Structure 1
Amino acid sequence: MTVMAERAVQSSQMSVEEFERIAAFAAKETDDAVRFEFLNGRIGVKKVADGDHNTIVAWLNKRCMQVRPDLDLYQGRGLRVEKYRDGRARPDAVLVPEEHFAGHGEWADPSGVLMVVEVTSYDSDTDLRDRQEKPVAYGAAGIPLYLLIDRDACTVTLHGDPDPGVGYRSSRKEPFGATLLLPDPLGIELDTEKLKQYVD
């Protein structure tokens, strides 16, 4: 990491523009081996996903496309999130109407996004990032649904009813193996039995 990047990471007053420059530089220098996010005024690092992690996203993609071929599921898509859109996140998957992101830059506005998905990683930042910060950021951005596939707890949690002040007003947690309904605007039923195969 450069001296400029190190100073910016240590500063509590980093601007979004500084973050975007650092993230773009890091993407080039590391060949996307790590990806940066900017939530609550601090940089977070997302490691490259393991095979089970990617397989879970592929499984979800197939389920969604079988029922709703009018939608697209993007992986690693950059979104502007948090109040006043001062945050930047790269959800593991973003479900949107077909061709929704055509013409968008690297960090897209979250309006029109139907659901974001995170699959927990086996790292020390998962609890803070996926279980605490992301529900607040995604809900404040007005994204209707946030699906957390938690490999540590072997659960799926669906957050809904976004509220700019608190994140999401409702959540439903089910163990792997349960059937989970992704309500309107999706109307997709997920049998999560298969997820039991993709945990350590």
Structure 2
Amino acid sequence: MPVKADRPHMLIEEFEELAFTARNRMEGLQLEFIDGQLRSRALRDGSHGLVVQWLTRICMQHHPELWLHPGRGLRVQAGRGRAIPHASLAHSDAFAGHGEWSDPDAVLMAVEVTSWDSDTDRRHRQEKPRVYGESRIPVYLLIDRTECQVSVYSEPGGHRYETVRTVPFGKDVRLPDPVGITLPTEPLKDWVR
């Protein structure tokens, strides 16, 4: 029988304790809790880090008051879930004094960069757009190295994003307000297999 969010594998407090223990005992292991199910995140390769650095530089050039916070844990699904975007664009001090998990209210954009793991389609292209849309994060940016494309999700409507724009690597794409940046995606071609 499939697990539903209203009948999760474990209580959220149990998940948070498990995630804390796993992160401290197994370097690089990150756990998420989506739709009442435990999820693990794949280890990132070196090119993954270069993508996040590239995006950080662009964001800082346009919005020096903002920061691309890497790996910030977010309370999603009305507090019943936990997700860790690869990066979250928010004011530089947005998470000051927070513990491991923060409400997504301060996040202007959640960013995910695909890895080469088997559940990329389910996690990045199906679950994350829904979860971030439900959390009303204004923009979700998916840098899809598997498909060599960038998808920009915007206008969260409560259960999903109303607008999705996908362009191939090499074509500029506009990140709508409140981000308001045009990304030149040509450099992304260098960070795929």
- CA RMSD in angstroms comes to 1.1
Secondary structure of the residue that 1:62 maps to in structure 2? helix
For 1:197, which of 185, 190, 193 is the aligned residue?
A: 190
**Code of the aligned partner of 2:169:** F
Tell whether 2:111 aligns with 1:117.
Answer: yes
Q: What is the total number of aligned residue pairs between the two structures?
A: 187
- Higher helix share goes to which structure? 1
Tell whether 2:167 aligns with 1:174.
Answer: yes
Secondary structure of the residue that 1:55 maps to in structure 2? helix
Tell whether 2:25 aligns with 1:29.
Answer: yes
Report the equivalent of 1:80. 75
For 1:39, which of 34, 39, 43 is the aligned residue?
A: 34
Report the equivalent of 2:128. 134
Tell whether 2:179 aligns with 1:186.
Answer: yes
Are 1:163 and 1:169, in contact at CA under 8 Å, matched by a contact in 2? Answer: yes
1:27/1:196 Cα in 2 relative to 1: closer, same or farther (>3 Å)?
Answer: same
Q: Given the two structures, how large is their TM-score scaled by the length of structure 2?
A: 0.94
**Code of the aligned partner of 1:154:** C
Report the equivalent of 1:157. 151
- Runs of 4+, deviation exceeding 2 Å: none
Q: Given the two structures, how large is their TM-score scaled by the length of structure 1?
A: 0.91
Are 1:37 and 1:45, in contact at CA under 8 Å, matched by a contact in 2? Answer: yes
For 1:71, which of 61, 66, 70 is the aligned residue?
A: 66
Deviation at 1:74, TM superposition (A): 0.7
Tell whether 2:36 aligns with 1:52.
Answer: no
> What is the aligned-residue identity percentage?
49
Q: Distance in 1 between matches of 2:190 and 2:36?
A: 36
Secondary structure of the residue that 1:189 maps to in structure 2? strand
Are 1:156 and 1:176, in contact at CA under 8 Å, matched by a contact in 2? Answer: yes
